[in-house]
Structure 1
Amino acid sequence: MYVAVKGGEKAIDAAHAWLAERRRGAKEVPELSIAQIREQMTLAVNRVMAEGSLFDPDLAALAIKQARGDLIEAVFLIRAYRTTLPRFGYTLLVETAKMDCIRRISATFKDAPGGQVLGPTFDYTHRLLDFKLAAEGSLPDAPKAEPHIGPVPHITEFLNKEDLIQQEPANDKEPRDLTREPLDLPADRALRLQSLTRGDEGFVLGMAYSTQRGYGRNHAFVGELRIGTCAVEMEIPELGFAIEIGEVELTECETVNQFTGSKTEPPQFTRGYGLVFGQTERKAISMALVDRALRWKELGEENVGAPAQDEEFVLYHADNIQATGFLEHIKLPHYVDFQSELELVRKMRAEAMGTMQEAAE
Structure 2
Amino acid sequence: MYVAVKGGERAIDNAHAWLAEERRGDTSVAELSVDQIREQLKLAVNRVMTEGSLYDPDLAALAIKQARGDLIEAVFLIRAYRTTLPRFGGTRPIETADMACIRRISATFKDAPGGQVLGPTFDYTHRLLDFKLAADGEVPPAPTAAPRQEPTPHITDFLNHEGLIQQEPTNDETPPDLTRAPMELPGSRALRLQALARGDEGFVLGMAYSTQRGYARNHAFVGELRIGTVDVEMEIPELGFAIDIGELEVTECETVNQFQGSKTEPPQFTRGYGLVFGQTERKAISMALVDRTLRWRELGEDNVGAPAQDEEFVLYHSDNIQATGFLEHIKLPHYVDFQSELELVRKLRRDASGVQEAAE
Q: TM-score range by the shorter chain?
A: over 0.9
Instruction: Report the secondary structure of 2:64's partner residue.
Output: helix
Matches within 5 A, 1:100-179: 100-179=100-179
CA displacement 1:8-66 (0-9 Å, x = unmatched): 11100000000000000000000000000000000000000000000000000000000
| Aligned position for 1:327 | 327
Shift of residue 240, structure 1, vs aligned partner: 1.2
Instruction: Report the secondary structure of 1:163's partner residue.
Output: coil
CA displacement 1:320-359 (0-9 Å, x = unmatched): 0000000000000000111111111111111111111111
Question: 1:114, 1:152 within 8 Å by CA — same for their partners in 2?
Answer: yes
Q: Give, in whole Å, the separation in 1 of the partners of 2:150 and 2:246.
A: 16
| Aligned partner letter, 1:222 | V
Shift of residue 145, structure 1, vs aligned partner: 3.0
| Aligned position for 1:29 | 29
Shift of residue 237, structure 1, vs aligned partner: 1.0
| Aligned position for 2:276 | 276
| Aligned partner letter, 2:339 | Q
| Aligned partner letter, 1:168 | E
Q: Give, in whole Å, the separation in 2 of the partners of 1:110 and 1:22.
A: 51
Is there any run of 5+ residues in structure 1 with no aligned partner, and where? Answer: none
* Distance 1:50-1:83 versus aligned 2 partners, 3 A rule: same
Q: Give, in whole Å, the separation in 2 of the partners of 1:47 and 1:324.
A: 17
| Aligned partner letter, 1:164 | L
CA displacement 1:55-103 (0-9 Å, x = unmatched): 0000000000000000000000000000000011110010000000000
* Distance 1:5-1:348 versus aligned 2 partners, 3 A rule: farther
Compare 134-143 and 73-82 and name the one that shifted more. Answer: 134-143
Instruction: Report the secondary structure of 2:337's partner residue.
Output: helix
| Aligned partner letter, 1:156 | T
Shift of residue 141, structure 1, vs aligned partner: 2.2
Q: Give, in whole Å, the separation in 1 of the partners of 2:248 and 2:24.
A: 31
Shift of residue 263, structure 1, vs aligned partner: 1.1
| Aligned position for 1:214 | 214
* Distance 1:345-1:96 versus aligned 2 partners, 3 A rule: same
| Aligned partner letter, 1:239 | L
| Aligned partner letter, 1:220 | A
TM-score normalized with structure 2 length: 0.98
Q: Give, in whole Å, the separation in 1 of the partners of 2:348 and 2:145.
A: 73
CA displacement 1:115-160 (0-9 Å, x = unmatched): 0000000000000000010011102223143211121000100000
Q: Give, in whole Å, the separation in 2 of the partners of 1:299 and 1:36.
A: 47
Q: Give, in whole Å, the separation in 2 of the partners of 1:212 and 1:75.
A: 28
| Aligned partner letter, 2:309 | Q
Matches within 5 A, 1:186-265: 186-265=186-265
CA displacement 1:289-313 (0-9 Å, x = unmatched): 0000000000000000000000000
Shift of residue 6, structure 1, vs aligned partner: 6.0
| Aligned partner letter, 2:291 | D
| Aligned position for 1:352 | 352
Q: Give, in whole Å, the separation in 1 of the partners of 2:56 and 2:12.
A: 31
| Aligned position for 1:65 | 65
Q: Give, in whole Å, the separation in 1 of the partners of 2:310 and 2:141.
A: 49
Deviation above 3 Å: which 4+ runs of structure 1?
4-7
| Aligned position for 2:45 | 45
| Aligned partner letter, 1:15 | A
Question: 1:227, 1:279 within 8 Å by CA — same for their partners in 2?
Answer: yes
Instruction: Report the secondary structure of 2:228's partner residue.
Output: strand
CA displacement 1:184-231 (0-9 Å, x = unmatched): 101000000000000000000000000000000100000000000000
Is there any run of 5+ residues in structure 2 with no aligned partner, and where? Answer: none
Q: Give, in whole Å, the separation in 2 of the partners of 1:179 and 1:201.
A: 18
Count of residues paired in the alignment? 357
| Aligned partner letter, 2:190 | A
Q: Give, in whole Å, the separation in 2 of the partners of 1:6 and 1:170.
A: 55
CA displacement 1:251-309 (0-9 Å, x = unmatched): 00000000000111111000000000000000000000000000000000000000000
Matches within 5 A, 1:307-318: 307-318=307-318
State the percentage of identical aligned residues: 82
Question: 1:105, 1:118 within 8 Å by CA — same for their partners in 2?
Answer: yes
Q: Give, in whole Å, the separation in 1 of the partners of 2:196 and 2:298.
A: 18
User: Is 1:343 aligned with 2:346?
Assistant: no
User: Is 1:181 aligned with 2:188?
Assistant: no
| Aligned position for 2:94 | 94
Q: Give, in whole Å, the separation in 2 of the partners of 1:340 and 1:139.
A: 62
Q: Give, in whole Å, the separation in 2 of the partners of 1:39 and 1:61.
A: 9
TM-score normalized with structure 1 length: 0.98
Shift of residue 173, structure 1, vs aligned partner: 1.8
Question: 1:119, 1:145 within 8 Å by CA — same for their partners in 2?
Answer: no
Instruction: Report the secondary structure of 1:269's partner residue.
Output: strand
Shift of residue 7, structure 1, vs aligned partner: 4.3
| Aligned partner letter, 1:331 | K
